Amino acid sequence: QKEVEQNSGPLSVPEGAIASLNCTYSDRGSQSFFWYRQYSGKSPELIMFIYSNGDKEDGRFTAQLNKASQYVSLLIRDSQPSDSATYLCASSGGGADGLTFGKGTHLIIQP
């Protein structure tokens, strides 16, 4: 069974610092990985996706993928209070047959 594991947190980070969010996945056939941000009571919104080993940067966000270790991470630089949310990691097997989600990490940015 495909599984995506995340530490539920809460992860507390001071404003302006780097927040580091991690997830691991069980299915070696997973090809693409996604980070979603979800505010309380709202639907998830896509932050980044990655499918090649290494780093991918977009503004303050960097996604990292290590397929050998089955490990995905998201770094948020210069953290802002508005970054406080639950971050969901998801994997895709390569077809349009749905994403497998982790339970999410609750991130709190302390002003």
Partner 1 sequence: DGGITQSPKYLFRKEGQNVTLSCEQNLNHDAMYWYRQDPGQGLRLIYYSQIVNDFQKGDIAEGYSVSREKKESFPLTVTSAQKNPTAFYLCASSIMTSAAEAFFGQGTRLTVV
Binding stretches for partner 1 (CB under 8 A): 4, 8, 31-32, 34, 42-46, 49, 51, 88, 90, 92, 94-104
According to DSSP, the residues that pair with 11 across neighbouring strands are 107
Least distance (Å) between residue 100 CB and partner 1:
8
Identify which of residues 10 and 17 has a Cβ nearer to partner 1 in the complex. Answer: 10
Least distance (Å) between residue 111 CB and partner 1:
25
How far apart, in whole angstroms, are the C-alpha atoms of residue 75 and residue 57? 9
Pairing of strands 105-110, 11-14: parallel
Identify which of residues 14 and 42 has a Cβ nearer to partner 1 in the complex. Answer: 42
Least distance (Å) between residue 80 CB and partner 1:
23
Q: What is the DSSP letter of 90?
A: E
Identify which of residues 26 and 31 has a Cβ nearer to partner 1 in the complex. Answer: 31
Determine contact, residues 48/74, Cβ cutoff 8 Å.
yes
Identify which of residues 79 and 92 has a Cβ nearer to partner 1 in the complex. Answer: 92
DSSP per residue, 25-77: ES-TT--EEEEEEE-TTS--EEEEEE-SSEEEEETTEEEEEETTTTEEEEEES
Least distance (Å) between residue 16 CB and partner 1:
28
